[in-house]
Amino acid sequence: MRVLLVGGGAIGLLSAYSLAQAGAEVCLLDKGECGRESSWAGGGIVSPLYPWRYSSAVTALAHWSQDYYPGLGQRLFAETGIDPEVHETGLYWLDLDDEEEALAWAAREGRPLSPVAMDQVHAAVPPLGPGYARAIYMAGVANVRNPRLTRALREALLQMPNVSLRENCEVRGFIRDGGRILGVNTAEGDLLADQVVLAAGAWSGELLASLGLVLPVEPVKGQMILFKCAPDFLPAIVLAKGRYAIPRRDGHILVGSTLEHAGFDKTPTDEALESLKASAFELLPQLADAELVGHWAGLRPGSPEGIPFIGPVPGVDGLWLNCGHYRNGLVLAPASCQLLADLLLGREPVIDPQPYAPKGRLG
């Protein structure tokens, strides 16, 4: 089977990896460099920020992926020499308005979430700022170093004889024969395949519009800042008032993020920088003396309720979607891409595909 994948972010790369491992002949296309858009810009927490606020559809993908990530990281490191750094730290939520709902969700789902006394939190996370009254903690939550994850996936694909990678190759439209998609039209000419998978993140809706279909996926801008501290400065992820701090193993601390509806504009702003710095210094006052090494923005693929579109496009044979993961693309990627591969190859799906089916959800 020849498969064209449009979009080289974490979702496109991992979809290609899953399909190629199953023996498909895969061609992955990206309008720029693979992994340089939303997948590069995110924080990489291997959990939704507030998992209890999502539907069971998001929860199902998240739980499967969380269990899968450690093995994926090890496998990619062994294959490529690039370590995605799946770093298990746990996560503290501070002063939640809906703490009772969170704990009820955890009891229902069997997740290790529990209240922690603030003196214990300060003992476990010494740089945490004062003034917080309550905390809950989930053990086992990891973060992945997302730029390294996409680099590792790209390298793994380059090593596979049944995969071709075409970067800086923008898809302009689809090649149709009646109700069937035969391939895509690019700046470099037409490319044909048995199946085409659209995994272009925030740009997926624009591409599907060329077929007269309305895909409710839109860009939602998010800005982040990055500090450099000692490697043991922050031992866990901390989250308060909608902002989080994520520790990397080498002492880099990511703080994010904004939620902005600004079209496809990715320009970092001074206003967001000051807001993020204020959040960072409130959470971890010592960051005021740390080196600020980065500030950037990315475009999340916003979708209704954050439920991705995974499966065949109704009425258009040969076209599939794996997009619209909104704020959770990295945490949902393993399950989403496994599910896509299962459906496309006619295998037993790893989870119930119905909640993600495009049928009935497109305009």
Tell which residue, 239, 172, 219, 195, has the closest CA to residue 22: 195
In a domain, 134, yes or no: no
* Alpha-carbon gap, residue 326 to 306, rounded angstroms: 5
Under 8 Å between Cβ of 201 and 266: no
In a domain, 233, yes or no: no
Please give the pLDDT value at position 166. 97
pLDDT per residue as tens digits for the range 173-197: 999 999 999 999 998 999 999 999 9
* Alpha-carbon gap, residue 321 to 200, rounded angstroms: 9
In order, the DSSP letters of 10-42 are HHHHHHHHHHHHTT-EEEEE-SSSTT-SHHHHS
Under 8 Å between Cβ of 84 and 145: yes
In a domain, 173, yes or no: yes
Question: What secondary structure, in 3-state letters, does 1-13 show?
Answer: CEEEEECCCHHHH
Given pLDDT bands bounded at 50, 70 and 90, which one contains residue 363? Answer: confident
Here the tokens at position 146 are: 């997302």
Given pLDDT bands bounded at 50, 70 and 90, which one contains residue 110? Answer: very high
In a domain, 137, yes or no: no
In a domain, 170, yes or no: yes
* Alpha-carbon gap, residue 12 to 289, rounded angstroms: 39
Here the tokens at position 41 are: 């810009």
Under 8 Å between Cβ of 309 and 215: yes
In a domain, 77, yes or no: yes
Q: Strand 218-228 relative to strand 291-302: parallel, antiparallel, unpaired?
A: antiparallel
pLDDT per residue as tens digits for the range 199-247: 999 999 999 999 999 999 999 999 999 999 999 999 999 999 999 999 9
Helix (H) or strand (E) holding 349: none
Whole-number Cα distances in Å, 105 to 78, 119, 143, 146, 203? 36, 25, 22, 28, 33
Average of per-residue pLDDT across 16-33: 98
Bridge-partner residues for 323, per DSSP?
Answer: 309
Q: Please tell me the total count of domains within the chain.
A: 1
Q: Supply φ then ψ for residue 146, to 5 degrees.
A: -55, -40
Tell which residue, 217, 218, 190, 215, has the closest CA to residue 316: 215
Under 8 Å between Cβ of 116 and 137: yes
In a domain, 252, yes or no: no
pLDDT per residue as tens digits for the range 123-149: 999 999 999 999 999 999 999 999 999
Here the tokens at position 264 are: 């496809």
pLDDT per residue as tens digits for the range 44-102: 999 999 999 999 999 999 999 999 999 999 999 999 999 999 999 999 999 999 999 99
Please give the pLDDT value at position 116. 98
Tell which residue, 257, 250, 216, has the closest CA to residue 234: 250
Q: Give the contacts of 308 (CB within 8 A, at least 6 positions apart).
A: 61, 322, 323, 324, 325, 326, 332, 336, 356
In a domain, 266, yes or no: no
Collapse the DSSP code of 181 into the 3-class scheme (helix H, G, I; strand E, B; otherwise coil) and give the result. strand
Q: Which domain holds residue 14?
A: 1-89+143-215+304-363
Average of per-residue pLDDT across 295-314: 97
CATH number (domain holding residue 55): 3.50.50.60
